[in-house]
Amino acid sequence: MVQQVETISHETEAHGTHHEMSFWEKYILSVDHKIIGLQYLFTGLFMAAIGGYFAYAFRMQLAFPGAEVPLFGYVDPAKFNMLVTNHGTIMIFWVAMPVLIAAFGNWMIPLMIGCDDMVFPRLNRLSYQIFLASALVLILSFFVEGGGFGGAWTSYPPLSAAAEYNLTNWGASLWLLAVALEIVAFLLGGINFITTTMNARAPGMGMMDIPIVIWMIDIAVILFMASVGPLIAGAVMLFFDQRLGTSFFLPSGGGDPLLWEHLFWFFGHPEVYVVLLPTMGIVAEIITVFSRKKLFGYRTILYTAFGTGGLSFIVWAHHQFVAGIDPRMANVFVVTTILISIPIAEMLFSYIATLYGGSIEFTTPMLWALSFLVSFLIGGVTGIYLGASALDVYFHDSYFVIAHFHYTFFPITIIGMFAAMTFWFPKMFGRMMDETLNKIHFWGTFIPFNGLFLPLFLVGMAGQHRRISDFTQYPDLASPDLQGIRIFATVSLLIMLLFQFVFIYNFFNSMFKGKKALMNPWRATTLEWTIPSPPPHGNFAEMPTVYRGPYEYSVPGHDEDYWPQHIPPKSNV
């Protein structure tokens, strides 16, 4: 019966392609998962440019306090707060999530599980449109009277709850509205992602034949769904506090500001794993392809991802050790926080075991994947320091924290994004990227990244607080040594930002003028490499059937060193 349905809809599809679509129909109002994926990708990259510009402005202020920043102007303390707040918000909600989950999820889920689209194409389009609206609301919030919100991406009340405290009456509410819309977009998109993976798999593809990146995206979506609910309730309450005069979080009216911190971090900590897991999946795909080896411990990686996800719900209060929570409760959260490093470490060991003994090819995606493992390791290890409540009392809100989470989020978001873009570029645009320029861009990003954030551990240990825009007023922190470190970090950032132009040039130049890509340039096994690059509307000319797991590389007795999922075993030929 299923077969029948497939033939019928396939015929209608074939007729549909004759109809000439306008630019508007094809790229703006499309319900094709590939186009929606690109919409998410380009919106995410545009927002990344804004986030990077904000980082540039406040890093310049920190290195050269009081100076006119070229292309920005003078950064006064209010502007500084607005810049750091929105830098954080943008990079998490409008870069990491849309690019890693929505863009690559949209592109890869239907292709890798062997079907023609998401199960709900129109819901998918609606999800993007709400996301776009959320981005526009956030950008609008920078231009209203009073300027953008400056109360940190964590938006702690009472500061965030009352205009007389935060002085950004509309900025604060628009910020909250933008985040709420973004959450709605991802809930809708997430339902589509999970349902598609569960129901639309190609015949023969069992649960354990799904490529690991798809698993990771789906686990991330479920984590998001389960953690964000209380924050939605909290956001409604905070919005009522701001606009309708309730006092859920205002002590003056009997409310409790600490409650918001619990609601926020109950979401905020799983959120780290929401963005981490997709990158873990991307890296798994890349290292197996370029080691020409089967992924070590497919099930182990999967179970550690479940373990991490489960544990991530009971670690949130490690963000609040100095917020006035009961010290006995803090002890519990120290234990759970340190525990969560076990499944993550196990996952990293599986990746290293995959590399061990492989025929490694140092292509650009592989360099990005390896650099992810190295730098995320530093982020993870420094997290153990912060997870211990005794040490956290000193480190809290210092640049040590900043350096720590940038060693997690930068590898996750930026390195993960470049890894995926350089790996799937041939499939997405049908052309190869210039490998030399790609490598120049890789080193020009990876070295300054360390030059930027390693020094911040030092200033953090010296006691530099994260929410101060001008350290010249603090004698202990105004020493030339510390200022030298700050200037070094800022110069590293400038170098890193300049090297991004190499990527932008390479990206667009290769898109139109690059060498034509073959169907399967990396000799990979998963289903997206069995169709033309770029894939046509409807993806598969003939719907594939799956015969084996996704990582059959260097199988003894097989002629080639890779064995794609859709090729029938010899006995059947």
Partner 1 sequence: MSTHGPIATHRTATGIPTGRLAVWWLLASEIFIFGGLIMCFLLFKFNNAPGFEDASMTSTAAGAFNTFVLLTSSLTIVLAHAASERGDTSASFRYIWFTIGGGLVFMLVKTYEYSTKILLGHTLTDNIFWSFYYTATGLHALHVFGGMVIMAIISFDVRKNYNLQRVELIGIYWHFVDIIWIFLFPILYIANF
Which stretches of the chain bind partner 1, using CB under 8 A?
2, 5-6, 8-10, 12-13, 110, 115-121, 187, 190-192, 194-196, 198-201, 205, 225-234, 236-237, 240, 244-248, 253-256, 259, 263, 538, 543
449: Cβ contacts below 8 Å, ≥ 6 apart:
375, 410, 414, 492, 496
- According to DSSP, residue 394 is labeled H
Which is closer to partner 1, CB of 10 or CB of 523? Answer: 10
CB 101 to partner 1: min, Å: 15
Q: Largest Cα–Cα distance in the chain?
A: 79
Q: What are 562's strand-pairing partners?
A: 553
Which is closer to partner 1, CB of 190 or CB of 380? Answer: 190
Which is closer to partner 1, CB of 245 or CB of 484? Answer: 245
Which is closer to partner 1, CB of 111 or CB of 302? Answer: 111
Q: What are 73's strand-pairing partners?
A: 69
CB 541 to partner 1: min, Å: 13
419: Cβ contacts below 8 Å, ≥ 6 apart:
279, 282, 283, 286, 365, 368, 369, 372
CB 184 to partner 1: min, Å: 10
Which is closer to partner 1, CB of 113 or CB of 419? Answer: 113
Q: How far apart are CA 264 and CA 5, in angstroms?
A: 46
Angle in degrees, 0-180, between the axes of helices 327-339 and 364-387, rounded to the nearest 10: 150
Q: How far apart are CA 207 and CA 211, in angstroms?
A: 9
Assign residue 20 a region (left: φ > 0; alpha: ψ between -120 and 50; beta: otherwise). Answer: beta
Which is closer to partner 1, CB of 181 or CB of 452? Answer: 181
Terminal-to-terminal C-alpha distance of the chain: 25
Q: Is the peptide bond before 534 cis (omega within 30 degrees of 0)?
A: yes
CB 228 to partner 1: min, Å: 7
Which is closer to partner 1, CB of 199 or CB of 359? Answer: 199
CB 311 to partner 1: min, Å: 18
CB 455 to partner 1: min, Å: 40
Query: 78 to each of 149, 151, 469, how far by Cα in Å?
Result: 9, 10, 9
CB 116 to partner 1: min, Å: 5
Which is closer to partner 1, CB of 147 or CB of 229? Answer: 229
CB 266 to partner 1: min, Å: 8
E strand map for 376-517: none
